[in-house]
Structure 1
């Protein structure tokens, strides 16, 4: 089942990238001059049993609403030219394994968006936030948890102000030692996105 899901995910991404023409011509990509970005991300996450103290497999269907605020104009030159961006996110992680539950909260992430390419905008990010976690696991001592995370992504412009993208993030959830027991959930998430630059 997992392999067929991965194949479907890859086929959808390939169809998006090959089926949509890139932004061209006199229209400059808006990620170089926009003041903000509104994005919707959706995807899949799974914990890594044996990574740190993670023992429980948890699988999620993820939806994240993101507002990105650009903190700077372009800096640097060459391949590393880019802009500082602050992500404010409202996540909903729908747990589908081991039982149907939900996690939600808020994240604040710092990002560097590379702007040296015409139709592609790679970026890296890191940060954290709070997460209300109602998984019903005996290995977690509280429902109020904290998350830190980091990752990278790639956006592909389909119009000067619109991009589709793919993102990987490492995602950690624990209660930061405020209660016992405190099994952390260390997971990977793969997300597809659509972004509007304003």
Structure 2
């Protein structure tokens, strides 16, 4: 987490330096976006039944499709967006292994600002888990997650972003044992609106 702080500071400074210089009206009219996110995740031992520390390096390919025109007024004006994600979670602790699958997430993207686009999201999906942990009874697992993000526009149609997500992985009681992996992820990304 200490390593992510300088990157976060750079993103905030970069975002504030272009604030007002770029019109993000593309979020109000675009049919969708493509994004690539990368970051770090770590489980929270003692949160729920999580006992094992797992650290991940994450890469996520995202397609976002807007489902609505703008709704609301004032600061909460925004649009509904559906994210389809293909994640690759490379575990680096306790051993190098992978988790991959697919996520479907619903999002509310705020459109009241001309320089930034904050958003909320939640959803879930399926993960194939090859961690080799004795505390997980199957390789087929399920995930639910939710979080917040913020995009800064570098130019019309291109944005840098930062996102936090709570991420849960378990086999949903389909096998024993079933230790869940409850973690936090910090992701940085770039989005291209079309």
Give the alignment's TM-score, normalised by structure 2: 0.94
Specify which of 61, 65, 72 is matched with residue 68 of structure 2.
72
CA–CA separation in structure 2 for the residues paired with 1:124 and 1:78: 17
Cα deviation per residue 1:144-173 (whole Å; 9 max; x = unaligned)?
000000001111111110111110000000
Which runs of 5 or more structure 2 residues have no equivalent in the other structure?
Answer: none
In the TM superposition, 1:1-198 aligns within 5 A as 6-19=1-14, 21-22=17-18, 24=20, 27=23, 29-198=25-194
Cα deviation per residue 1:9-61 (whole Å; 9 max; x = unaligned)?
22233334434752756855311111011000000000010111100000000
Which runs of 5 or more structure 1 residues have no equivalent in the other structure?
Answer: 1-5
Call closer, same or farther: CA 1:183–1:26 in 2, change over 3 Å.
Answer: closer
Contact 1:45-1:59 within 8 A present in 2 as well: yes
Matched residue SS, 1:13: helix
Report how many residues are paired: 193
CA–CA separation in structure 1 for the residues paired with 2:150 and 2:91: 26
Matched residue SS, 1:169: strand
Matched residue SS, 1:79: helix
Give the alignment's TM-score, normalised by structure 1: 0.93
Matched residue SS, 1:76: coil
